[in-house]
Amino acid sequence: MTKITVKANGPYLVTGADVVDETGASFPVEAGKPIALCRCGASHKKPFCDGSHIKIGFKAAEGAAAAKK
């Protein structure tokens, strides 16, 4: 099962999925390990998170409980 965990003020952690580019070619990832995908736009290794969200002070929207209101 694919699971996407939205980290507070950080990346999306994805398990159980392949990451492919627009041609369908897979990015090399370590099997069985979570993949951190950038959602702040500042990574120099897109689509992967490189920790730049910390440097830029990325502030994300609130969590799922707040989104239900």
Residues of this chain that bind ligand FES (CB under 6 A)? 10-11, 38-40, 42-43, 49-53
For ligand FES, the closer of residues 24 and 57 by Cβ is: 57
Closest distance to ligand FES from the beta carbon of 2 (Å): 19
Tell me the HSE value of 21 on the side-chain side, using a 13 A CA sphere: 7
Q: Give CA separation, 5 vs 12, 22, 23, in Å.
A: 6, 23, 26
Closest distance to ligand FES from the beta carbon of 50 (Å): 5
Let me know: does 11 contact 38? Beta carbons within 8 Å: yes
For ligand FES, the closer of residues 8 and 25 by Cβ is: 8
